[in-house]
Amino acid sequence: MSAEKVTTSEKTAIGIAHSKLILIGEHAVVHGQPAIAIPFPLIGVETVIERVPGTVKMDSSFYHGPLYLAPEALQGIVKCVEASLEYLEIPCKDLLIRINSSIPPGKGLGSSASVAISVIRSLFDFADRECTDEELLELANVAETYAHGAPSGLDTLTITSRSPVWYKKENPIDYIDLGEDFHFIVADSGRVGDTRTSVESVAKLLKSAPKRIQRKMDRIGELTHQAKHALERASKHFLGQLLNEAQKELESLGVSDAGLNKLIYFARKEGALGAKLTGGGNGGCIIALAQNEVHSKLLAEKLKKYGATAVWPFVLKKH
């Protein structure tokens, strides 16, 4: 579509994006190890764009509603909007961009990447253009670089995927075929975490004690390889053990906190096969592997009683 047509358009454009979870491999993935991440469609973002002549500038005034983003993330979204407008050759700046999100930010659930992807999709819709995955990822990574400093790219990739993602930086990604359905529960510790700060603290540790921390990264990488096999071979109990092992390593990297540790402890006590933090950590959510569907619902109730501020039991389905 020509730029001329865009400026005269009165259409309303929409872009949606779901959330994401990291099953295993967070932090180590920033330093070259693989990670496994899961699309999480129970929560997401919808962006609606309207042309409102002369009323809204392309700055943070597009930022409406109850959604909260850290200042860096917000700045990233503004940059991402600017880059998308330039890429799509949309000269019009009289846009009202409304973002509605059900993803709690700062909880390791990919809020900033989901907002970016939903905004980009809505801008492509506004321009009547189909969006390729490559275009989406490149533009979304503009926002993620502001939000996370040095993102691995895993969040944006998983949000654009429908299957569990096996991801290694600078390597082609792969999708995992599950051996059976897996039932999980995500529980929010109530504390907001800052992925950027967590990623930077791990990078500092790696710099100060390269050999010792590299061994931890390698160990997380090994656990992630084993987790891929466990998912493919339907080895639920083994997967649970691997999640617990990964949590130990994350704790030793200093990215878990008392709130997360408490929920993890109670999840295991109530029969979870494994439990760990998910995402950047130091606040945010845990992911626990339940025994089956009934157990995942029971676990959700229990974790609420133990102080989780939100719980989401969900199934990762074998296709």
User: How far from the centroid of its chain's Cα atoms is residue 103's Cα?
Assistant: 10
The only residue of 13, 19, 27, 137 in contact with ligand MEV, by rule CB under 6 A: 27
Q: How far is the CB of 12 from ligand MEV (least distance, A)?
A: 31
Name residue, tokens 């872009």. Answer: 15
Active site includes 128? no
Residue burial 98-109, b: 16+ Cβ < 10 Å; e: rest = bbbbebbbbbbb
The only residue of 13, 23, 30, 139 in contact with ligand MEV, by rule CB under 6 A: 30
Q: How far is the CB of 257 from ligand MEV (least distance, A)?
A: 14
CA-to-CA distance for 121 and 48, rounded, in angstroms? 10
Q: How far is the CB of 49 from ligand MEV (least distance, A)?
A: 27
Segment contacting ligand MEV by CB under 6 A, of 20-28, 61-69, 177-185, 261-269:
20-28
The only residue of 33, 161, 195, 282 in contact with ligand MEV, by rule CB under 6 A: 195
Spatial contact of 99 and 119, defined as CB atoms under 8 Å apart:
yes
If one asks whether residue 311 binds ligand MEV (CB under 6 A), the answer comes out as: no
In terms of residues, how long is the chain? 319
Q: Which two tokens stand for residue 239?
A: 């997967």
Residue nearest to ligand MEV (CB): 152
Neighbours of 284 (CB within 10 A): 30
If one asks whether residue 84 binds ligand MEV (CB under 6 A), the answer comes out as: no
If one asks whether residue 115 binds ligand MEV (CB under 6 A), the answer comes out as: no
The only residue of 36, 56, 74, 154 in contact with ligand MEV, by rule CB under 6 A: 154
Q: How far is the CB of 282 from ligand MEV (least distance, A)?
A: 10
Bridge-partner residues for 274, per DSSP? 289
Spatial contact of 178 and 164, defined as CB atoms under 8 Å apart:
yes
- Catalytic residue of the set 155, 177, 181, 218: 155
If one asks whether residue 26 binds ligand MEV (CB under 6 A), the answer comes out as: yes
Torsion angle of alpha carbons 109, 20, 250, 292, nearest 10°? Answer: 110
Q: How far is the CB of 281 from ligand MEV (least distance, A)?
A: 7
H helical segments located in 27-153? 71-87, 111-126, 133-148
The only residue of 15, 44, 105, 151 in contact with ligand MEV, by rule CB under 6 A: 151
Of 93, 100, 83, 89, the closest CA to residue 145 belongs to 83
Segment contacting ligand MEV by CB under 6 A, of 9-17, 23-31, 120-128, 214-222:
23-31
- In the range 275-294, which residues lie near ligand MEV by CB under 6 A? 279-280
Residue 109 DSSP symbol: S
How many residues belong to the site for ligand MEV (CB under 6 A)?
Answer: 15
Q: How far is the CB of 21 from ligand MEV (least distance, A)?
A: 9
Name residue, tokens 């917000």. Answer: 74
- In the range 95-114, which residues lie near ligand MEV by CB under 6 A? 108
Contacts of 148 (CB under 8 A, 6+ apart): 112, 155, 195, 196, 199
SS3 (DSSP) at 32: coil
Burial, 32: exposed, middle or buried (Cβ in 10 Å; 0-12, 13-18, 19+)?
middle
Specify the residue, 37 or 48, whose C-beta has the smaller distance to ligand MEV: 37
Segment contacting ligand MEV by CB under 6 A, of 1-9, 146-154, 208-216, 297-305:
146-154
Site residues (vs ligand MEV, CB under 6 A): 22, 26-27, 29-30, 108, 148, 151-152, 154-155, 195, 199, 279-280
> Which residues have a catalytic role annotated?
155
